[in-house]
Amino acid sequence: MVIRSLLLSMLLVSVYSHGEQQAEELNRGIVAVRQNETSAFIGWRLLKEDPADVAFNVYRSTANGKPTKVNEAVITSVTWFVDDKVDFQKSNEWFVRPVIDGKELQDSERFILSSRAPQEPYITVPLKTPEGYSPNDGSVGDLDGDGEYEIVVHLTGRGRDNSQKGPGPTNIYCC
């Protein structure tokens, strides 16, 4: 009991002595979903190091062509944009550039929608699950430190009769 209290105290002291909350170093996390025949919703992250007055420009490249800015004025109060002149007969990719003090900074990562992308309000993540298993619970986190979230999914299935000792096999899937 004394050792447990001592370890807990040491842990709390080390957490509070650093004074700053630990956070992942994430990228912009840009995503795009097709809304209808000609428009796509584009969204991205505001990063912890962004100044309060950061603005953004959104760029689209169609069929691997030259990127063009699709917003008329810099975007200042949100981290999303609706691009309403998209040709979904061809593949499209988007990226954002933060604008700080009137200067555009480096491109974010890019998000690609293939030609004839389905009109859905979500992004589909295909899973190849072992026979007899199905997705149950999931969570996200940057597991490899590359700035992108990975999805961790707990798979259930192949239950055991409760007359047998121990739990059934556990499968964790990461994509």
Helix (H) or strand (E) holding 116: none
Domain end position, chosen among 113, 148, 166: 113
pLDDT for residue 14 is more than 80: no
Give me the pLDDT at residue 19, please.
57
Domain end position, chosen among 66, 83, 113: 113
State the average pLDDT over residues 9-18. 48
> What is the residue range of 162's domain?
133-174
Question: What b/e readout covers 39-71, taking b as 16+ CB neighbours within 10 angstroms?
Answer: bbebbbeebeeeeeebbbbbbbbbeeeebeebb
Domain total in the chain:
2
User: Is residue 92 situated within a structural domain?
Assistant: yes
pLDDT band at residue 18, thresholds of 50, 70 and 90?
low
pLDDT for residue 41 is more than 90: yes
CATH number for the domain spanning 85: value is 2.60.40.10
Is residue 106 located within the same domain as residue 146? no
Would you call 18 helix, strand, or coil by DSSP? helix
pLDDT for residue 28 is more than 60: yes
Is residue 165 located within the same domain as residue 105? no
**Cβ distance 85 to 69 under 8 Å?**
no
Residue 145's Cα: distance from chain center in Å?
13
Is residue 102 located within the same domain as residue 48? yes
Sheet holding 31-34, edge to edge: 31-34, 40-43, 80-83
Would you call 158 helix, strand, or coil by DSSP? coil
User: Is residue 26 situated within a structural domain?
Assistant: no
**Residue pLDDT, tens place only, 149-164:** 899 998 887 666 667 6
Would you call 96 helix, strand, or coil by DSSP? strand
For a pLDDT cut of 90, what percent of the chain falls above it? 53
**Residue pLDDT, tens place only, 93-143:** 999 999 999 999 999 999 999 998 999 988 888 888 888 888 888 899 889
Q: Are strands 55-62 and 92-100 parallel, antiparallel or unpaired?
A: antiparallel
User: Is residue 22 situated within a structural domain?
Assistant: no
pLDDT for residue 75 is more than 70: yes
Give me the pLDDT at residue 65, please.
95
